[in-house]
Amino acid sequence: MRHIFTTMLILTATTGHADAPRVVADIAPIHSLVAQVMEGVGQPDLIVPPGADAHHMALRPSDASTLSQADVVIWVGAELTPWLTDPLATLAPAAATLTLLDAPGWTPRTLPEDAGHATEAGHHHDYDPHAWLDPEVAMVWVGAIRDTLSTTDPDHATAYAANADRALRGLTALRKTIAADLAGLPGGTWIAPHAAFGYFENRFDLPSGGAISDSEAEDPGPAHLSDLRHRAEAGEITCVLSETNEPTRYADLLTDGTEARQGTIDDTGVTLTPGATLYADLLTGIAATLKGCIQP
């Protein structure tokens, strides 16, 4: 019995999961950042799996159970996942909650006056919530994640600090690599599937020529599609992107008979495996898609 107990202590020390807090993240890119900060301490849980609609997903019983056991919840905010607001209040009232859109140290991107998004509760917001697509914002958020975890779990504060420093160095290198890869590409020549990539466009000085729709849940109007089609025919648009694993009917319509190319892109890592490496894989994948589609 004494041998078994000693073995358990050794295994616990080796895996580094002793008394790790139960941490829940909302979407895969945020889960990836949290996993980097928690490396060697524990593994966060993920509520919204890659491929699910973060804006309108229905909470599953397993997710409700996960939330009810959470010590820490880290989410983007109600602007992205309005359906998560009430479950957080009822299922995880005692959990430490970090709302990343409210973290200080960065400036949210203001949406055009006529493009504000309405949440399921009917509340209108005027800020683009897809801020994780800017690695410099992600750096600010990593600091907020570190501080929240350290406050909640001071026994592992040294590990969180060291992991966050490593994550910040990785994000700095990632930003520089992507900037170099995309340097010189002509802006305004690509069309996004929906208006979610503004932070990436701004950070890497590669503006899109617009989006097929304002959001994933909205279909584009015929006048808008006609305008995009004319621009593709005129050669102003050389790349039309569709959502990964989604139908390409609009891209087909816009590019048929033109020299414009097609590609697929997403903002949460639909085909990627959740974990610490997902964030870098997501952004490098977006950059590779744009580079190959805009100017192969």
Strand, coil or helix: what is 212?
strand
pLDDT of residue 122: 38
Strand, coil or helix: what is 223?
helix
pLDDT of residue 127: 85
Starting at the earlier edge strand, list the strands of the sheet with 72-75.
45-46, 23-25, 72-75, 96-99
pLDDT of residue 15: 38
pLDDT of residue 10: 33
pLDDT of residue 115: 47
pLDDT of residue 9: 34
pLDDT of residue 113: 57
Which residues pair with residue 239 across a beta bridge? 190, 261
pLDDT of residue 36: 98
Q: Is 255 in contact with 232 (CB distance < 8 Å)? A: yes
Q: Write out the H or E segment, with its range, that includes residue 63.
A: helix 61-68
Q: What is the set of domains in the chain, with CATH numbers?
A: 22-178 (3.40.50.1980), 185-294 (3.40.50.1980)
Of 283, 290, 166, nearest to 240 by C-alpha is: 290
Q: Is 79 in contact with 85 (CB distance < 8 Å)? A: no
pLDDT of residue 217: 59
pLDDT of residue 124: 42
pLDDT of residue 19: 84
Secondary structure E strands in the chain: 23-25, 45-46, 72-75, 96-99, 117-118, 124-125, 190-194, 211-213, 239-243, 261-265
pLDDT of residue 17: 52
pLDDT of residue 53: 82
pLDDT of residue 213: 87
pLDDT of residue 7: 35
Q: Is 109 in contact with 60 (CB distance < 8 Å)? A: no
pLDDT of residue 215: 65
pLDDT of residue 2: 38
Location of structure tokens 């209108």: 124
Q: Which of the residues in the chain have pLDDT under 70?
A: 1-18, 112-125, 215-217, 296
| Structural tokens at position 36 | 């980097």
Q: pLDDT tens digit string along 129-139?
A: 999 999 999 99
CA distances in angstroms from 110 to 61, 104, 144, listed in the order given: 35, 16, 22
Tell me the torsion sign for CA atoms 129, 264, 204, 275: positive
- CA gap 233, 236 in Å, rounded: 8
